[in-house]
Amino acid sequence: MKLVILDRDGTLNPMGDDYITSADEWTAVPGALEAIARLNHAGWHVVVATNQPGLGRGLFDVVALNAIHAKMHRQLAAVGGRIDAVFYCPHAADEDCTCRKPAPGLLEQIGDRYGVERHDLRVVGSCEAHVQAGAALGAQVHLVCTGRSAQVVPGGPLPAGLPPGTLVHASLGDFVDQLLPLVPGAPATAAPLPAAGQGAH
């Protein structure tokens, strides 16, 4: 299985001033959903891994979180894409859990669930903690220059705090451009990877 693990806030939707607490507040970053659809059409599965400490702080509940993600799934389906699952950490920073990024626990759960070797995972996001979690897991890590990383310039110096070897892309669409071979007039196909066992969520 070919699997990309995306961050949510700043990668799929703008950061906003505070937590996104309702579906009405969720909007997609321009081009992000279409990029996911392109991945899907090339045979890639996509899973989201997101820290949601607002749950633990009582700022919103699981019903509200599910409604946010239902809206995301609907908008993605409208452009021909699909996210297989959303994994989230509900804990605040002081709760000392193993699933809050930059700890790799959440990403470990995803790799185990889908039966993908760590080094075959692509971990992609705009958040330093997401990239750090991917590096701790031994995955291939990619930063997109949206959200908190909007000031980062692809090809420039790697910002402090990012793991060595992090690949930098202007956007999620740019990541997909570089992942998939571009053959004019032909359907996009993914770069070959070793096959791995499949899982389900």
User: Known catalytic residues?
Assistant: 7, 9
**Cα–Cα dist 80/150, whole Å:** 27
- Give the position of tokens 């699997």: 3
What is the sign of the dihedral through the CA atoms of 179, 182, 185 and 186? negative
CA 79 from centroid of its chain's CA atoms: 18
Q: For the stretch 29-66, what's the b/e string if a residue is b when 16 or more beta carbons lie within 10 angstroms of its beta carbon? A: beebbbbbbbbbebebbbbbbbbbbbbbeeebeeebbe
Amino acid letter for position 195 = A
